[in-house]
Amino acid sequence: MTEIDLLVSARWVIPIEPDGCLEQHCVAIDQGRILDVLPASVAVTRYCARQSVDLPTHALIPGLVNAHTHAAMGLFRGLADDLPLKDWLQHHIWPAEGRWVSSQFVRDGVELAMAEMLRSGTTCFNDMYFFPEECAQVVRKAGIRACIGMIVIDFPTVYADSPSAYLDKGLRLHDELRDSRLITTAFAPHAPYSVSDEPLTRIRILNNELNLPVHMHIHETAHEIEEALVGTGRRPIARLQDLDLLGPNLVAVHMTQLLPAEIDLLARTGVNVVHCPESNLKLASGFCPVDALLDAGINVALGTDGAASNNNVDMLEEMRVAALLAKAVSQDATAVPARTALRMATLNGARALGLDTLIGSVTAGKQADLAAIDLAHAASQPVYDPLSHIVYAAGRGQVTDVWVAGRQLLRAGHLTTLDEPAILQRAHAWGDRIRERPAS
């Protein structure tokens, strides 16, 4: 028998690659990687595990990949609800950020978000926010996986005073994280309306060498398109094409305003799209044509956006809304079936971040990023199709165990690397402070 670190047995294993559901299977893990996925009856004769975990009523899935977050903004959760995007940003969020965002704010906000994400089965998140080095520090301590954006925006903030200063700080962070096992980086220009041609050109030139994701809000609202046409005579996607930024490295977030010719262009250039259905609904930004994008062969991932506009970072809920919304928008009940929604939240997210050879499926050779969902709850009984239940019935309260690279970060509902009472205490303190001195 082969000695290994960990053997996880589950009632169902949903590998993503290949499609389908494996009953009464085990995942053998050693040195943080998946060694084997095999029937439980065979596993007990082949492997001797230093630790065994038995999940008799659970579905074991790849850890969820939240492909678009502003993690620290959880500290603004509920601050300015029921407003359109422009009003929400310009009159409420940006003033609040100007008053409150600091290195400590980011550390405390990211810790709050990580606790929430791990509790809902997310093992990797793609972040765009200020003080990314602070985000990296707490991510490293928690042991979660993250792609951290090197934020770029034209206007000065407490973090940097010019596009060059943003980029210089980001590149220093990239160099510091070169050898990190769990943290990668991406260029993160905020949006076409907030980043001018010169810094975007510099990003393209730098990325010819670095080959990183370029994470950007694009075509989020009709107002964005109208302003671009007035200001430049071009829709934002056309401008990005002229700047040679359309390609497999581009992670285009929201994309609610797309013409058929633009969908064809995205498919030809290999652009990745991140769909954020709950944030788009709440801000009335529009509907991403997910079914049409998938039919065109475009890689579509899922993100929650920040908890200030969602108001959570729950990828299980995001999957459900994405699947249901796609059916309504396309007027086709077969659009985005459960297996597609789960793939969008796992392997497609990993692919958008350039991590699909490492994570996104329960596949031998990949890192052991896993989440276990207990389907014994009344809300998910009886079980005819566990994959369908994960998307349409299960809630984050049913996530019991989570591993990242074989390290257990949630064990029987308890966080193992985060001090949740201390995190909550700091979040309460921020809430009291912000409530007493509103920015607007």
Q: What is the pLDDT of residues 399-415, one digit of tens each?
A: 999 999 999 999 999 99
Joined together, the tokens standing for residue 322 give 């994405």
What's the pLDDT at 266? 98
Task: Decide if 355 contacts 128 (C-beta within 8 A).
Answer: no
Sign of the Cα torsion 313, 223, 332, 21 reads negative
> Cα separation of 318 and 277, whole Å?
7
Residue 220 contacts residue 285 (beta carbons within 8 Å): yes
Residue tagged 């084997």 (tokens): 36
pTM, entire model: 0.98
User: Element (H or E) spanning 122, and its range?
Assistant: strand 122-127
pLDDT of residue 148: 98
Contact 66, 122 (CB under 8 A): yes
Query: What ranges make up the beta strands (E) of 63-136?
Result: 64-69, 122-127
pLDDT at 205: 98
Q: What is the CATH number of domain 2-62+370-404?
A: 2.30.40.10
Domain boundaries, the chain: 2-62+370-404, 64-352
The segments of the chain whose pLDDT lies below 50 read none
257: helix, coil or strand? coil
pLDDT given for residue 235 in this prediction? 98
| pLDDT for residue 86 | 85
pLDDT of residue 421: 98
- Whether 386 and 392 have beta carbons less than 8 Å apart is answered as no
Beta carbons within 8 Å of 132's beta carbon, 6+ residues apart: 148, 149, 150, 151, 169, 170, 173
| Cβ contact 50:57 at 8 Å | no
What is the C-alpha separation between 220 and 73, in angstroms, rounded?
19
Q: For residues 362 and 34, give the distance between their C-alpha atoms in angstroms, rounded to a whole number.
A: 7
Q: Which residue has the tokens 């990003």?
A: 203
Secondary structure of residue 97 in the 3-state scheme: helix
pLDDT the model gives residue 438:
64
- Give CA–CA dist 108/243, Å, rounded: 37
CATH number, domain 64-352, options 3.40.50.300, 3.20.20.140, 3.30.530.20, 3.90.1150.10: 3.20.20.140
CB of 80 closer than 8 Å to CB of 110: no
Distance CA 54, CA 43 (A): 13
pLDDT at 439: 60
Q: Is the peptide bond before 382 cis (omega within 30 degrees of 0)?
A: yes
The reported pLDDT for the residue numbered 1 is: 87
CA pair distance 319, 340, nearest whole angstrom: 9
Containing 421, the helix (H) or strand (E) segment is helix 420-436
